[in-house]
Amino acid sequence: TTSNLTAAREGATTLAGGGSASQTSRVPALLDDAELLRRLVAFDSVSRNSNTPIADFIADYLDRPGIRASLNPNEDGTKLNLIIEAGAPTNPAVRDGLVLSGHMDVVPAEEPDWRSDPFRMEDLGDRYVGRGTADMKGFLALAMNRMARADLGRLHRPLALLFTFDE
């Protein structure tokens, strides 16, 4: 069988859990917000690099029943935009629902004043420090977990996450 992520990479919009029983049983465990952010920060998604590893992680994490993922590559296939949807499919004529949008890339971490590895999140008690914790991976983690934990049957309109490879 083809995984949902593989099908999405081939241009198909997929419905998580729509495959075999073995696919449905592989729903990834939910992480708390801080651990999810820690994992996102660990990806070196500097804008000059491919964002495929972080895009794949996000698509895999949200590979759940009722959630559809579309991966849209750039011209040379090195970067991906993600559209993750839940709820009833959007009617293009109406375009109703809610879209939460953010970017997966970060600026280079070449400043000399870093006191720690910028791709290893540090919890300083009153704040997290790491490349992307405030712009924009913190938002991505919160949006991802809100969608993953949502009671999708209660959505009256579609909910979409649009995560881009560039600002």
Asked whether the predicted pLDDT for residue 94 surpasses 60, the reply is yes
* pLDDT bucket at 25, cuts 50 / 70 / 90: low
pTM: 0.84
Share of the chain above pLDDT 70, in %: 85
Asked whether the predicted pLDDT for residue 10 surpasses 80, the reply is no
Please give the mean pLDDT across all residues of the chain.
Answer: 86
* pLDDT bucket at 8, cuts 50 / 70 / 90: very low
Instruction: Give the pLDDT confidence of 71-87 residue by residue, as tens digits.
Output: 999 999 999 999 999 99
Asked whether the predicted pLDDT for residue 6 surpasses 80, the reply is no
Lowest mean pLDDT among 14-18, 26-30, 121-125, 143-147: 14-18
Per-residue 3-state assignment (H helix, E strand, C coil) for the chain? CCCHHHHHHCCCCEECCCCCHHHHCCCCCCCCHHHHHHHHHCCCCECCCCCHHHHHHHHHHCCCCCEEEEEEECCCCCCEEEEEEECCCCCCCCCCCEEEEEECCECCCCCCCCCCCCCCCEECCCCEECCCCCCCHHHHHHHHHHHHHCCHHHCCCCEEEEEECCC
